[in-house]
Amino acid sequence: MNREILSWMLRSYADALGGFYPRRREARGLVESLPELPLEVPVPDSHSIYHWIRGLCATPHRRPGTAEGHRGEEFVVHRFEEFGLQDIAREPIAIKVWDASNWGLRVRGGGKETDIPCFRVQNTAFTGERGITAPLVYVGAAWLPGALRRADVRGKIVVADVPFPTLPAGLLIKLLGGGYGISDPEKRITAGTGMKLVFVRGNFPGQFLNVDMDDVRLPLEDMRLPWDVYWRAHRLGAEGLVLILSGMPTNSNTHFGPYDACMKPIPALWVGKYDGELLRSLAKRGASATMVLEGEERPGVTHNVWGILPGASEEMIILHSHHDAPFQGATEDGCGVGQVLAQAGAWSQVPQRDRPKTLMFLCAAAHFYGPALGVYEFVKRHQHDFLARTDVVICLEHLGAKQMLEKEREFAACGGPAITWVMTSSNRYVIATMMKILRKQRLKETVAVPYNLLAPVPTTDAFAYPFGGVQFLSWIAQPYYLLSAEDTLDKIEVAELGPIAESITDVVKTFMALESGKLRS
């Protein structure tokens, strides 16, 4: 990690911690004086929103550049056309499509062969039909610098555990005094509430995009961390890796990650937590294995999709989610797209003269390619046109997702929604608007915090907006089944979709009524 990146990260954390209390104090003083558009907006009900989500999620996945991904783009375009949006666009983004067709893991040990259920690791090397046969070597999580060297991994298939951290979310919220605001009418968030970070692979974080916009140039691919088990195994001559999802709930092996647009040099497979117990035992006893990973890599294209509702002025508010998904993607991000469509449907019924500002509805591409390559490209390409007249962006992800916990090795509903964060930029009117909405207490387990509290940029599809100099809210729920094939339609808390949409509409109404100069300061 170079000094420029480290300096950038430290400045961001200092801003989050040093500015939090003054900003909260200033925003609290503004809440009562915030204007609101005196207008009834016909917000769609929960079942209408769910109908759109179900339509988007009609295919097994919406991976960037695939036929299924393109079908998802077309679904959004058709809905925008139905609502009468103008200037509907599908802006292309060139990508590489990595498409696995067959994978497997057969272990030989103790006088017999055992097929271990597995799933391919995105963007890793293909083996060909015959696969790779080699001794197994178990290295644990291999945190220490010399762990792989001592294990002598050259010419072998490395078996490693991949931990996932748990954020002490409840304690953090308590220490922050509820952050910028909290709505938890059922009092479900306690100091002991934790949140499994299923997108943070402790020892296999993946690569990052370069950031190259105007004066912001950060070579983030240099953030190849020294404890990354994949790249260390490759450097030491391993033939492949089998990674046990030991830190994940349930025995699911369908983890989609890391999605970092980096094509990797040796094959890798995921194995579920409980299947990993057998694999770990066999590897420790000197077993060998054949791993197969077949597929193709080809040039492809995906598209950012947007449409516009002109208002009485050119000042703009953008409502944003992403349309792609690694699996059915009911919550990731069927729910986000559903909420964007709800706002498009609602505001399209309001006469233009009654909309003080123009609205853009953006469904970005390639969240699961870059990561968030679509919104990065949108910001880079439109920093001096659309974003130059944008007051604020509202990014919506996973909203209405049920929280599920592990019970008897399966996911089971725990009777409430997933914890939802609203990561706000530093503008005091943006913060005050979210405070006002949360005081109504109709949202469940929702907390507003600074966007850079946990990382220098939002760990969401809004990550590029700080580089584009635009104010934003990143409104996102964090259920445990994200990035897996378990993200299905039954995981949606359908009754909550309407109340969430009403709250988003209230946010838009306040931003519509606020002077642009106040939102952009």
Secondary element (H or E) of residue 309: strand 288-309
Query: pLDDT by residue (tens digit) across 222-236?
Result: 456 678 999 999 999
336-347 and 494-513 helices, crossing angle to 10°: 50
| Segment among 3-7, 192-196, 478-482 with least mean pLDDT | 3-7
Task: Please write the tens of the pLDDT for every residue from 333-344.
Answer: 999 999 999 999
The pLDDT score that the predictor gives to residue 222 is 46
* Range with the poorest average pLDDT among 105-114, 205-214, 419-428, 442-451: 205-214
Confidence tier at 501 by pLDDT (50, 70, 90) = very high
Q: Per-residue confidence at 6, pLDDT binned at 50, 70, 90?
A: low
Question: How high is the pLDDT of residue 207?
Answer: 67
Contact 90, 110 (CB under 8 A): no
Query: What is the model's pLDDT at position 143?
Result: 87
Residue 187 lies in a domain: no
Whole-angstrom Cα Rg for the chain: 23
pLDDT of residue 213: 52
Read off the pLDDT of each residue in 21-36 and give the average, rounded to a whole number. Answer: 95
CB 255 within 8 A of CB 248: yes
pLDDT tens per residue across span 166-197: 999 999 999 999 999 999 999 999 999 999 89
| Three-state secondary-structure class, residue 14 | helix
With tokens 């190849």, the residue in question is 224
What stretch of H or E contains 101? strand 86-109
Q: Are 411 and 311 contained in the same domain? A: yes
Q: What per-residue confidence (pLDDT) applies to 4?
A: 61
Segment holding 306, helix H or strand E: strand 288-309
The answer on 356 and 208 residing in a single domain is no
Burial 478-496 (b: 16+ CB within 10 A, else e): bbbbbbbbbbbeebbbeeb
Is the four-CA dihedral 154, 135, 158, 263 of positive or negative sign?
Answer: positive
The answer to whether 278 and 336 have CB atoms below 8 angstroms apart is no
Q: What distance in Å separates the CA atoms of residue 130 and residue 127, rounded to the nearest whole number?
A: 7
Over residues 127-142, the mean pLDDT reads 96
Q: 3-class DSSP state for residue 298?
A: strand
Q: Are residues 343 and 319 in the same domain?
A: yes
pLDDT of residue 209: 53
Same domain, 69 and 213: no
- Above 90 in pLDDT, residue 521? no
Q: Higher pLDDT residue, 499 or 199?
A: 499
- 311 is written with which tokens? 């208002």
pLDDT of res. 457? 84
**Is 175 part of a structural domain of the chain?**
no
Q: Verify that 143 and 292 share a domain, yes or no.
A: yes
Could you tell me the CATH number of the domain that includes residue 427?
3.40.630.10
> Rounded to 5 degrees, what are φ and ψ at 26?
-65, -45
Q: How many domains does the chain have?
A: 2
Question: Could you tell me which residues are beta bridge partners of residue 424?
Answer: 450, 473
Q: In the numeric block, which tokens belong to residue 239?
A: 């033939």
480 and 355 fall within a common domain:
yes
- pLDDT per position as a tens digit, 263-313: 899 999 999 999 999 999 999 999 999 999 999 999 999 999 999 999 999
Which residues, other chains included, contact 447 with Cβ-Cβ below 8 Å and sequence gap of 6+? 173, 178, 179, 181, 182, 183, 184, 189, 419, 420, 421, 422
Nearby residues of 219 by Cβ (< 8 Å), 6 or more positions away: 2, 4, 5, 210
Q: Is residue 180 part of a domain?
A: no
Give yes or no: residues 455 and 317 share one domain: yes
Read off the pTM. 0.94
CATH number of the domain residue 111 falls in: 3.50.30.30
Please indicate, yes or no, whether residues 292 and 304 belong to a single structural domain of this protein: no
Listing DSSP states for 410-458 in one string gives EEEEEEEEPPEEEEE-S-HHHHHHHHHHHHT--SSSEEEEETTSSSSS-
Q: Is the pLDDT of residue 477 over 70?
A: yes
Cα–Cα distances in angstroms (integers) from residue 361 to residues 16, 76, 433, in the given order: 29, 10, 20
Domain that holds residue 325: 3-94+300-520
Residue 174 domain-assigned (yes or no): no
pLDDT of residue 219: 47
One domain for residues 278 and 204: yes
Rounded to an integer, what distance in angstroms lies between the CA atom of residue 138 and that of residue 412?
31
Rounded CA-CA distance 489/401 in Å is: 10
119 in a structural domain = yes
Q: Is the peptide bond before 333 cis (omega within 30 degrees of 0)?
A: yes
Residue 238 covered by a domain = yes
In tens, the pLDDT along 50-79 reads 999 999 999 999 999 999 999 999 999 999
* Helix (H) / strand (E) containing 361: strand 358-364
> Which residues, including other chains, have CB under 8 Å from residue 181's CB and lie 6 or more apart?
434, 435, 437, 438, 439, 447, 448
312 or 210, which is more confident?
312
Task: Enumerate long-range contacts of 23-31, CB under 8 Å, 24 or more apart.
Answer: 23/180, 23/426, 23/428, 23/431, 23/450, 24/180, 24/431, 26/428, 27/180, 27/428, 27/429, 27/431, 27/432, 27/435, 28/432, 28/435, 30/428, 30/429, 30/432, 31/432, 31/435, 31/436, 31/439
Look at residues 299, 323, 354 and tell me which one is the last residue of a structural domain: 299
Check whether residue 135 and residue 281 sit in a common domain.
yes
User: Is 152 inside any structural domain?
Assistant: yes
Q: How far is residue 467 from each of residues 68, 96, 124, 283, measured CA to CA in Å?
A: 31, 25, 30, 46
The residue out of 299, 333, 350 marking a domain boundary is 299
Q: Is 340 contained in some domain? A: yes
- For residue 104, list its beta bridge partners: 292
Q: What is the pLDDT of residues 363-414, one digit of tens each?
A: 999 999 987 899 999 999 999 999 999 999 999 999 999 999 999 999 998 8
Check: CB of residue 316 under 8 Å from CB of residue 359.
yes
Per-chain mean pLDDT for the chain: 92
* Phi, psi torsion values for 397, nearest 5 degrees: -145, 135
pLDDT tens-digit series, residues 403-459 = 999 999 999 988 889 999 999 999 999 999 999 999 988 899 999 999 988 888 888
Write out the DSSP string of 167-227.
Answer: E-HHHHHHHTTSTTEEE-TT----TT--EE-TT--TT------EEEETTEEEEGGG---TT
Q: Do 427 and 374 share a domain, yes or no?
A: yes
Dist CA 168 CA 317 (whole Å):
34
Q: Which residues are CB-neighbours of 11 under 8 A, at least 6 positions away?
A: none
d(CA 414, CA 334) in angstroms, rounded, equals: 21
Q: Among 299, 334, 350, give the residue marking a domain's end.
A: 299
326 and 272 in one domain?
no
Q: How confident is the model at residue 221 (pLDDT cuts 50, 70, 90)?
A: very low
- The token pair at 265 is 């040099």
